[in-house]
Structure 1
Amino acid sequence: MLGGLRKCLMAFVTVLVCVQPSRGSRKAQEHLGAGVKLFQLERYSEAAKEFELALKVDSDLSEARYYLAVSCFNERRYPDAREQFERLLPSGYQKERVTYYLGRLDLAGGRLDSAIRRFESLKRAEPLEDELYYLGSALIKKGEPRRAVSVLKRQINFNPRDFRAYNLLGRAYLKIGQPKGAEREFEESEQLHRYYVEGKQELGTCRNELAAGHPDRAWAQCGPVLKTDDIDKLVAVGMLFGEFHSYDHALQAFERALTLDPESPEINYNFGFTYFQQKRYPEARKFLEAALGQRPDFFEALAVDGTVLYELRQDSAARQALERAHALRPDDEAVSRLLTQLNHESPR
Structure 2
Amino acid sequence: MLQFVAPVREARAQDRVAEATRRYREALALDPSCNPCLVGLGQMSLQDRDFEAAVEHLEGALQLAPGAATIRYPLALAYRGLGEDAKAQAQLDARAEATLNTGMGRQMDRPGVFDPLLLELDGLAATGNVAIEARGVMAARQGRWTEAIAEFNTLVAADPENAVSRNLLAVALLTTGDRDGARHQYEETLRLDPTHSRANLQLGLLLVEDGREQEAVARFRAAVEADPGANMAYLNLAGALLRTGEAGEAADIYDALLALDPSNAPARLGRAFALIRAGRHAEAKTRLEEDILARPTEMAFPHTLTRLLAASPDGNVRDAGRAGELIQQVTREVQNGQAAETTAMVLAEVGSFDAAVRYQEIAIGLAEEAGMGELAAEMRITLALYRGGQPSRVPFRPNDPVFFPAPFKPPGAFDEPPAAGAGPQ
TM-score band, normalised by the shorter chain?
0.3 to 0.5
- Structure showing greater radius of gyration is 1
Greater length-normalized contact order (CA 8 Å, ≥ 6 residues apart): 2
More helix by share: 1
